Each structure stands twice: as structure tokens, then as C-alpha cells.
């Protein structure tokens, strides 16, 4: 049996029954990494020694009868989450050798469960990108077609899950960076409500938008991982003190009477025909399971992308000002004075996309332009939030495509930033508003590429979108199909 192919909940039961050990599972995962990582490029840093050591500790805990849902389970972590003493690069040259002196809260949570760290996954530099092509450490490829992107910015985590290089993974989502690569790679990805999961130890991109969440092989695994990382944290001022459900208990498969809203603005053209058909097939499938759907309007959604690409770069400009070569990270050699050191360090340490967004954000915040850009974008954000509030008065959740088209070819959009930004057009509104969203596989294109279905819920109502996603998943087999890396192409 190839243990690396199994899911969290399957391995949880096998570990409990003593049929396998965590060490055996972990060794299987690292053998898989040896076999396919050269093709995929999902990881920046591997942690085999630490992983095997943790697996042995987990096995002892299981023998003592102290196992929980994640004990002994090999997980991958996006490389913008701080792990004490472990390289945390954010996919950037400027942090190429940085080792944090502390663990982020989600890392502490996973450590408390004695899950097994596999490694730190590749990502767009500072999470700024939609394809994991901006990473200083190279491109991550889509396991379904190695000539195509894995999505971004959590492309390494999504690709690692799809390629069975881990059992589950964590990513971060600022404008779709969990859901979009999940759709491209045919896995499940969930962005929790803003404030549901602590951001302490997450290297900031845009502080009012960033959120950590799970990428997994199915919805049950997603619920297990979300339950483990959720909760209030006094170290994060944006963390909300609301009781956390055991999300696995919400997976009863019953969606009778569930009200689904279909935003008409998301189906106005520009969607790949295969994507549109798969999403409408999913709607009909949910209707057969007892849900009812109706058209709703999110009339200001057409302005979401424009607002996002003012707000996010503005916050990035502020957050990335700390990388100046003084306290930590890369420092340019032989500068001619302090100002020259700042300029050379940032010029040499940041990649092209990060520089572009810093300049956009600095401009939007500059004197004479703040009201015209940042203030106006913030007002539009409020209007979008009101649209969602009105829609949720009529519906329990909203249903949309995750992305307009399947994964594109590597290099296809790198020369046109606007076309790259448009891949996030369906995911960005949830971040502006702060609501939870999940992407689940709902079909395949004529080229055999995965297609994702997005479900959006009310604030802190992750249970409802998980319940609907699980019901859909139980009556389809899209999540069971795996890419065939031996042929270089998914089947």
C-alpha cells in the first residue's frame, strides 16, 4: 500500500488501530518526495530529519493512547509561516537565509497535536502572485500537467497535496491564494473567516486581508485541519474570540432546505465553457440533494479587483518597509552610506512583482493621492460588504466558479500583469469582505485539467460551507482522481 496516497482521516484510523506507524507513513511520504519533487518543485526546504524524529514521538504518544486527529500526520507548511530556527524565506532573496526565533501560533498548534513537519513549500514572493512563478527559488509545476502553473501564491502547498508529497498542507490566502491553486491542482482549499485563525507568525503581505487555511485531499481532512488551527489568540489583535466548532461534526451530508445564491455578476462572460458547464452541473447536483438555488446580485463586485489592487499593495508597501538590510535578511554589500544601503538592499533583494506592488502601494498612499485611491478603494470595499450582507439575508451560502479558466501554461501571463491579476477575479471579494470560502473539485476540462467550485459563507459560518462541500463531494468522484506524474500528465 502506498501510504502517501491516503488521507488524514484514513491514516488517523489506521494509526489508532496500530496497523501502521507514523514513522512508516513519514518514510513513505519522503520516498514519494524523492521520486517526484524534481518534476514538481513544491518545496523550498525539506525537513526529513526533523520529520522522522517527530514521527517517533508521535508513535510513542499513540502507544500511550493520547492520539488526536493530527498526531503522526505528515503536513507541509507554506514558507511564509515562522518556524523557530527553520529557514522561512517567503520565496524571496531578501529572506533567503532568515531563521525566525519563534514559532507562529499555527505552528505551535500543529506541534501540540504532534503532527509531522515535512517541509516549507514554495510560493510567490511574499505571496504576491497567482502562479508561483515569482518565487526566487523557481517555479512550482502543476502535477496534472507539468507545463502548466500550479496557481498561487500557495502553489507549493497545493501542488504538494495533489502530488501526494504530503498528507495535507497549510497555505495563506490574501486574494485567493489558497482557493485558486486548490482549483488548479484539483484539491480542497479553504480560506477561513478573517479572525478565525491566528495570523501571529504569518509574514505579512496585506494585514487586513491575509488569512491562514488548509489545503487537503478531501473535505473531511479540511475540517480536521481547520479545527486544529482555529481559535482566539491574544498575540493577534485581529483574532476573534468566538467558540470554535468541531467542524467534522458538521459533515452530515444533509443539505435539505439549504439556500444557495448564484451571483449573476459572476456569470456575465469571460468564463471558460468547461468551467461554466462544470459549475452549473454542480448546482444541479446540489439541487438534487435537497438544496434550492436562486439568482442574487453582488452589484459592486465588478469593482472588487480594482479596489483590491489598491488596498493590498498599499498595505504591502507599509509592511515591506521593514526589509531595509538593517535588522535581518539580505543586506547589499559595500553600500556608499545608509541611504545607498537601503536602496541597493531592496533593489537587489526584492523581485520584479514585489517592487511593482510596493510602488503601486506607495503611490496610492502618497500625499495628494490618498483620497483619490486608498480612501476611495476602502469605500468601495464597504459597498461590496453591504452587497454580501444583503445576499446572505436571502441565502445560506453563495456559489461561484473558483477561477474563470483551468490552469494556464507556464510563462503565458508573466508579461501581462493585468491578465495575471484577472485570474483572482472570483476569489478577491471574499478577502475584501472577510467571509469564509472553500474550493472543491467539480470537474475536468477537455484537456484533463481540474476545475474548482467555490462556496462562500457568512462570517464564522465555516460549518455550512463545509457541510455543502462535503455533500457535493460524497456524490461525485472528482476528488478521488489523482494526477499521473509518471507520464508527466494527469489522468
153 is known as an active-site residue = yes
Least confident of 216-225, 327-336, 359-368, 478-487: 478-487
User: What is residue 291's DSSP assignment?
Assistant: -
pLDDT bracket for residue 486 (50, 70, 90): low
Tell me: pLDDT of 243 over 50.
Answer: yes
Burial of residue 280, with CB atoms counted within 10 A of its CB: 0-12 exposed, 13-18 middle, 19 or more buried: middle
The DSSP element (H or E) to which 146 belongs, if any, is: strand 145-149
Q: Give residue-wise pLDDT tens across range 273-284.
A: 999 999 999 999
Tell me: pLDDT of 378 over 90.
Answer: yes
Q: Which residues pair with 142 in a beta bridge?
A: 145
Select which of 159, 177, 230, 239 is catalytic: 177
pLDDT bracket for residue 268 (50, 70, 90): confident
Tell me, what's the pLDDT at 352?
Answer: 97
Q: What one-character-per-residue DSSP string does 192-257 give?
A: PPTTTB--TTBPPS-TTT--EEEEESSHHHHHHHHHHHBS--TT-TT----PPP-GGGG-----TT
Q: What one-character-per-residue DSSP string does 100-139 give?
A: -SS--HHHHHHHHHT-EEEEEEP-SGGG--SSS-S-TT-P
Tell me: pLDDT of 488 over 90.
Answer: no
Tell me, what's the pLDDT at 490?
Answer: 39
Tell me: pLDDT of 11 over 50.
Answer: yes
Over residues 402-411, the mean pLDDT reads 98
Burial of residue 350, with CB atoms counted within 10 A of its CB: 0-12 exposed, 13-18 middle, 19 or more buried: buried
Phi, psi of 390 (to 5 degrees): -65, -40
Tell me, what's the pLDDT at 270?
Answer: 87
pTM: 0.97
- Among 133, 135, 130, 48, residue whose Cα is nearest residue 95: 135
Select which of 22, 115, 135, 153 is catalytic: 153
Ramachandran bin of 119, using left for φ above 0, alpha for ψ from -120 to 50, beta for the remaining angles: left
> Cβ neighbours of residue 60 under 8 Å, at least 6 residues apart?
none
Q: Give residue-wise pLDDT tens across range 29-75.
A: 999 999 999 999 999 999 999 999 999 999 999 999 989 889 999 99
The grid cell for 139 is 517555479
Q: Give residue-wise pLDDT tens across range 100-143.
A: 999 999 999 999 999 999 999 999 999 999 999 999 999 999 99
DSSP 3-state of 447: coil
Mean pLDDT, the chain, whole residue set: 96
CA distance 170 to 196: 15
CA distance 49 to 42: 18
Tell me: pLDDT of 381 over 90.
Answer: yes
Q: Give residue-wise pLDDT tens across range 427-464.
A: 999 999 999 999 999 999 999 999 999 999 999 999 99
pLDDT bracket for residue 269 (50, 70, 90): confident
* Angle (nearest 5°) at CA 409 between 405 and 414: 95
In 382-484 the beta strands, taken as DSSP E runs, fall at 397-401, 437-444, 450-457
Over residues 154-179, the mean pLDDT reads 98
Percent of the chain with pLDDT over 90: 95
Q: Which residues pair with 274 in a beta bridge?
A: none
Tell me, what's the pLDDT at 1?
Answer: 85
Over residues 278-304, the mean pLDDT reads 97
Tell me, what's the pLDDT at 179?
Answer: 98
Tell me, what's the pLDDT at 489?
Answer: 41
333 is known as an active-site residue = no
The full set of domains in the chain, from first to last, is: 3-260+393-480 (3.90.1300.10)
Percent of the chain with pLDDT over 70: 99
> Within a 13 Å sphere around the CA of 367, how many CA atoms are in the beta-carbon half?
0
Higher per-residue confidence, 489 vs 217: 217
Burial of residue 315, with CB atoms counted within 10 A of its CB: 0-12 exposed, 13-18 middle, 19 or more buried: buried
278 is known as an active-site residue = no
- Among 247, 226, 232, residue whose Cα is nearest residue 105: 232
Select which of 22, 28, 78, 154 is catalytic: 78
Amino acid at each position: 500500500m502506498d501510504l502517501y496516497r491516503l488521507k488524514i482521516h484514513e491514516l488517523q484510523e489506521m494509526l489508532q488501530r496500530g496497523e501502521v506507524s507514523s514513522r512508516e507513513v513519514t518514510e513513505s511520504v519522503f520516498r514519494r518526495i524523492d521520486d517526484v519533487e524534481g518534476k514538481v518543485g513544491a518545496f523550498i526546504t525539506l525537513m526529513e530529519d526533523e520529520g522522522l524524529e517527530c514521527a517517533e514521538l508521535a508513535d510513542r504518544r499513540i502507544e500511550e493512547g493520547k492520539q488526536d486527529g493530527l498526531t503522526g500526520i505528515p503536513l507541509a507548511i507554506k514558507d511564509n509561516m515562522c518556524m523557530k530556527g527553520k529557514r522561512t524565506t517567503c520565496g524571496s532573496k531578501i529572506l533567503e537565509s532568515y531563521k525566525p526565533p519563534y514559532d507562529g501560533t499555527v505552528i505551535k498548534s500543529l506541534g501540540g497535536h504532534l503532527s509531522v513537519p515535512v517541509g516549507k513549500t514554495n510560493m510567490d514572493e511574499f505571496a504576491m502572485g497567482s502562479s508561483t512563478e515569482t518565487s526566487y527559488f523557481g517555479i512550482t509545476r502543476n502535477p496534472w500537467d507539468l507545463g502548466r502553473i500550479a496557481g498561487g501564491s500557495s502553489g507549493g502547498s497545493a501542488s504538494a497535496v495533489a502530488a501526494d508529497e504530503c498528507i495535507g498542507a497549510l497555505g495563506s490566502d490574501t486574494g485567493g491564494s489558497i482557493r485558486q491553486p486548490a482549483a488548479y491542482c484539483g484539491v480542497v482549499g479553504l480560506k477561513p473567516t478573517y479572525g478565525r485563525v491566528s495570523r501571529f507568525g504569518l509574514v505579512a503581505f496585506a494585514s487586513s486581508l491575509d488569512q491562514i487555511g488548509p489545503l487537503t485531499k478531501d473535505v473531511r481532512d479540511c475540517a480536521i485541519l481547520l479545527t486544529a488551527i482555529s481559535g482566539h489568540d491574544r498575540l493577534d489583535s485581529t483574532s476573534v474570540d468566538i467558540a470554535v466548532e468541531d467542524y467534522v461534526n458538521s459533515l452530515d451530508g444533509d443539505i435539505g432546505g439549504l439556500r444557495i445564491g448564484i451571483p449573476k455578476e459572476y456569470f456575465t462572460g469571460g468564463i471558460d465553457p468547461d468551467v461554466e458547464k462544470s459549475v452549473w452541473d454542480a448546482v444541479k447536483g446540489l439541487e438534487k440533494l435537497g438544496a434550492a438555488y436562486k439568482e442574487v446580485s453582488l452589484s459592486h463586485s465588478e469593482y472588487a479587483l480594482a479596489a483590491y489592487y489598491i488596498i493590498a499593495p498599499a498595505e504591502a508597501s507599509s509592511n515591506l518597509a521593514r526589509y531595509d538590510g538593517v535588522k535581518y535578511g539580505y543586506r547589499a554589500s559595500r553600500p556608499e552610506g545608509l541611504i545607498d544601503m537601503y536602496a541597493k538592499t531592496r533593489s537587489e533583494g526584492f523581485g520584479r512583482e514585489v517592487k511593482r506592488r510596493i510602488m503601486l502601494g506607495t503611490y496610492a498612499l502618497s500625499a495628494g493621492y490618498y483620497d483619490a485611491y486608498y480612501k476611495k478603494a476602502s469605500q468601495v470595499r464597504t459597498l461590496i460588504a453591504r452587497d454580501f450582507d444583503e445576499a446572505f439575508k436571502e441565502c445560506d451560502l453563495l456559489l461561484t466558479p473558483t477561477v474563470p479558466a483551468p490552469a494556464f501554461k507556464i510563462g503565458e501571463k508573466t508579461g501581462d500583469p493585468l491578465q495575471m491579476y484577472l485570474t483572482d477575479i472570483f476569489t478577491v471579494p471574499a478577502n475584501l469582505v472577510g467571509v469564509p470560502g472553500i474550493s472543491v473539485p467539480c470537474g475536468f476540462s477537455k484537456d484533463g485539467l481540474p476545475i474548482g467550485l467555490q462556496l462562500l459563507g457568512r462570517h464564522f459560518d465555516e460549518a455550512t460551507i463545509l457541510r455543502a462541500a462535503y455533500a457535493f463531494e460524497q456524490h461525485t468522484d472528482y476528488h478521488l482522481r489523482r494526477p499521473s506524474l509518471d507520464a508527466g500528465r494527469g489522468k
